[in-house]
Structure 1
Amino acid sequence: MYEPSCMDNDSCNNDQRAFRSLFARNLKLTGLVASDVDDDLTKWLESSAKAAAQSCSGGTDGITCGQDWNHDGWDSKYGLANLATFASN
């Protein structure tokens, strides 16, 4: 998944960072009630989840998640969960 309105110019706010997770959750819920598209949605969501997970390879701890899931590894930009932790310190 990719957020074109802000990722290209590095201007995503927290709502835009969170959108992909909410969108993915609701896509899966859609698949549960619309079984004819569930297999296709599941394949797409699994691919996106793998891309998101591979972005969690940076920071000082080696497991900080990035923002751009299309980037190979950590993109040096803190993802949503990391921003919440970072802001509280």
Structure 2
Amino acid sequence: MREAACESHGTCNVDQRSFKAYLSRWYAATTQMAPWTAPTIMPRLFASASAAAASCIGGDDKNTCGIIWTSSPPAWDGSFGVGEQMSALSVIMSVLIPNSSVPVTANSGGTSKGDPNAGSQGDRPVIAPATVKVGDRVGAGFLTAGILGLMLAAVWWMAV
């Protein structure tokens, strides 16, 4: 797995450094949601996990992971940060997905119940929606017509 847009140039930004983490998790989840994809996806995840683990030999602690996993022989590329660590951890953990259970839904064992008062100190008052009166509708109509008129005037002014 590699971030082709930036790895070879050394220009990866913070988001690009963590992209492999998200991608590997999505791939692993895909193999659970669509099991027929596992024969294609899992060998690639295993290869990426091995390469990622081989890149985790850098830094002062000799455990810092790099972003480039395609070097031969595997080595630390000198990059470090949360994105690199997160990507390596995610791809290594993604190979454990065949040993885990599939996510549950409300129809297959899920037990979550909604609680609108969760996190509060007690019952929260129920706030009823405001009643819309005729004057409110008239005001909204005038406001809408005014904005539409301004937009049409701006288009006419730019076109002329």
The answer for the alignment partner of 1:2 in structure 2 is 2
Decide whether the 8 Å contact of 2:67 with 2:84 is kept in 1: no
**Aligned pairs for 1:21-40 within 5 A:** 21-40=21-40
State TM-score, norm by structure 2: 0.48
The answer for the alignment partner of 2:75 in structure 1 is 73
Aligned residue for 2:11, secondary structure, equals coil
The answer for the alignment partner of 1:57 in structure 2 is 57
The answer for the alignment partner of 1:85 in structure 2 is none
- 1:61 and 1:29 map into 2 onto residues whose CA distance is 32
State TM-score, norm by structure 1: 0.83
The answer for the alignment partner of 2:145 in structure 1 is none
- RMSD over aligned Cα atoms: 1.4
Length, aligned pairs only:
82
| Unpaired runs of at least 5, structure 2 | 86-160
State, as a whole percentage, how many aligned pairs show the same letter: 37
- Runs of 4+ off more than 6 Å: none
Specify the code of the residue in structure 2 equivalent to 1:21: A
Range that drifts further, 71-80 or 44-53: 71-80
| Unpaired runs of at least 5, structure 1 | 83-89
Range that drifts further, 17-26 or 67-76: 67-76
Q: What is the deviation of 1:81?
A: 4.9
- 1:30 and 1:3 map into 2 onto residues whose CA distance is 20
Higher strand share: 1
- 1:16 and 1:29 map into 2 onto residues whose CA distance is 20
Q: What is the deviation of 1:30?
A: 0.9
